[in-house]
Structure 1
């Protein structure tokens, strides 16, 4: 693809600051922590007396270590996914990152659903928290920090509109509509409605992926400014793929023990809505690596790439997590409440309207980021004072 350089720059050669630099790559800890996580999960499986919930100091230490290794394995999975993504190119790299995070989220949520008493609103609260944290917190930080450093930033408006249109449609149909239907109980779909809406969610996401990767791929491509990272070698790509699978296996294996530790810890507090706080903690845990990657990309003036990571994660969550949790809930016979409460419904609709306005011109500034972050602060307040 032809690039326009400055005066005297040959076609196809990098101009100005646009040149390839060596990528930093995963650190040594990114290779060690997933192995430690798998070892701890195996130890907890063969030695139940160490599992969370058991009496004594050692089980408590094991729970803290499991949480730390799960976080480390989650960060490692994204680091290794980034190596694989740079070899695959965009937008397939971003898709790999979002799918990895979605697998982690479903694993943690399924483990928490299977632990202790039935949590019928856990899936709803987790997905709602992801939408709020991404569209207000992470996006707000990206817009604010990017604009403070580069004044105004440009985006591919058609691509961002694609993310928002699918996200808004699925968010309203899966989180608002269940509170308005007549066939199911309040806030729930009937089994037939749940199956149909799960099919709609997966089909709509599949259509979006086709548009993103084939039909309108150029709408989601970044407009690079500054340094571009060199693709990894074939051996580095193979190692990154293997370590990505190991990291995901560690997260899945530790998720059951972390879920038990979270629920036991929150049970010590008199929370007005413990499921909402639990869902927010899950979302923060899962979104931390992608949030860091998105903010770093925005600070480098790669706002489109930043939004691809952030909005892609939120879209994959609402489109894939709810159908996956619906399948699990039907298989184990646990009910699942999807309809949001009044205050959450209001916050979600405000967030969607704000996102449309912020990206409607194709250019963003610091004020957009400030407004998103203010809405995020209100969301956090309502977690503890609903």
Structure 2
């Protein structure tokens, strides 16, 4: 009750109430940004508590969905207040989430695991299915709009956007059914010899879990509101720095996925690389499978175009990411080399986002 994870959501919600609709000084903006970051971290912490109660692979699913709800809230808040200049924000954020998860989180997890055990072992069946789902969702939502002809520019027509939204929800639901019911064993850690190394905390009680659920909801409300308050400042800062508008999406994705990154690296260090991959690919999948339908609904109120199609540079990075990821996943084993390849792709993504 005295920990920062209890106080952060409540303080963030209080700050939201006090700052809503007011002119903010620089000091207040910085303070709100810190509270926003604290609320994001606290939200994922409480999702992790709930995940520990329900077990794997449900735990990874809870974390992925919680993170995606935050991401969708930030995207919609910024798009509703930003007008036409945020027309590509959803695309930029979702693409950034895919690159961060499939290269950044996977690369760091492989690095952490291979430095301790030389060869990292994971379940190729479950990870391969997750990767195939991510690749299909990304192609449907981020690649096809570049080549369709019904709408001018890299955008879907309303009918195409509706189809993409329904297909994304259906495919994501099918994956969740596979992960949690029909083939749950495909997504459990295979390093049974290292199970004793896992430093599990005691399973939280029902009361603790319910408290975390309530605080998770409070944190999500605070994140949505503070994102709305902070959105003009974020866009102004990016403009003054002379950076491309796409950097806004990268900042959102990095902020939201930071706790997931920490959780994945910790799992890899415990010898549970499969959990790390569940977190990474599950977050990428949820980011596309839930964000695109949410944006499709929000497009009713959003004025201006909704650009989803990637440009040539990002298409090359995305294709290379899926080719490399496939070669990493198929053997069910990885070494330090694979981690270096993924981290180099992640570095290239960050560099090209700043200097396209």
TM-score class, shorter = over 0.9
* Partner Cα distance (2:37, 2:293) in 1: 25
1:251 aligned residue (202, 215, 223): 223
More relative contact order, 1 or 2 (CA 8 Å, 6+ apart): 2
- Is the counterpart of residue 30 in structure 1 residue 17 in structure 2? no
Q: Tell me the alpha carbon deviations over residues 119-161 of structure 1, each in whole angstroms, 9 at most, x when there is no partner.
A: 1111000000011111111111111121001111211111101
Q: 1:92 — aligned with what?
A: 58
Contact 2:114 2:336 in 1 (8 A): yes
1:240 paired with 2:216, answer no
Residues 322 and 27 of structure 1: CA distance in aligned 2, closer, same or farther (over 3 Å) = farther
1:360 is aligned to 330
Q: Any runs of at least 4 consecutive aligned residues in structure 1 with deviations exceeding 6 A, and if so which?
A: none
Q: Is the CA contact 2:83–2:304 (under 8 Å) kept in the aligned structure 1? A: no
5+ residue gaps, structure 1: 1-25, 51-58
Where does residue 240 of structure 2 map in the other structure? Answer: 268
State yes or no: 1:68 paired with 2:34. yes
Q: Distance in 1 between matches of 2:81 and 2:333?
A: 46
Partner of 2:125: 158
Going from structure 1 to structure 2, the CA distance change for 1:27 and 1:137 (only over 3 Å counts) comes to farther
CA contact (8 A) 1:326 1:336 kept: no
- Structure 1 equivalent of residue 316 of structure 2: 346
Structure with a larger share of its residues in helix: 2
Change (3 A) 1:247 1:157: same
The answer to whether the 8 A contact 2:114-2:335 is kept is yes
Residues 127 and 318 in structure 1, CA contact (< 8 A), matched pair in contact too = yes
Q: Which runs of structure 2 are paired with 1:1-386 in the superposition (5 Å)?
A: 28-45=3-20, 48-50=22-24, 59-118=25-84, 119-223=86-190, 224=192, 225=195, 226-227=197-198, 228-271=200-243, 273-274=244-245, 276-386=246-356
Whole-Å Cα distance in 1 between the matches of residues 167 and 74 of structure 2?
A: 24
Distance 2:23 2:314 in 1: 40
Instruction: Decide whether aligned partners of structure 1 residues 297 and 335 sit closer, same or farther in structure 2, where only a CA change above 3 A counts.
Output: same
Deviation of 1:257 after TM superposition, in Å, equals 1.5
Shift of 1:27: 7.2
1:333: how far off?
Answer: 3.2
Contact 2:83 2:303 in 1 (8 A): no
Name 1:16's counterpart in structure 2.
none
Aligned residues of 1:98 and 1:309 also touching (Cα < 8 A): yes
CA contact (8 A) 1:83 1:240 kept: yes
TM-score, reference length from structure 1 = 0.88
User: Mean Cα displacement is larger for which, 213-222 or 344-353?
Assistant: 213-222
**CA drift at 1:312:** 0.5
1:6 is matched with which residue? none
- For 1:338 and 1:89, locate their aligned partners in 2 and report how far apart those are by CA, in whole Å: 35
Separation (CA, whole Å) in 2 of partners of 1:297 and 1:183: 45
Mapped contact 2:265–2:276 kept (Cα < 8 A): yes
Q: Is the 8 A contact 1:145 1:366 kept in 2?
A: no
Name the larger-Rg structure.
1
Q: What is the count of residue pairs matched by the alignment?
A: 350
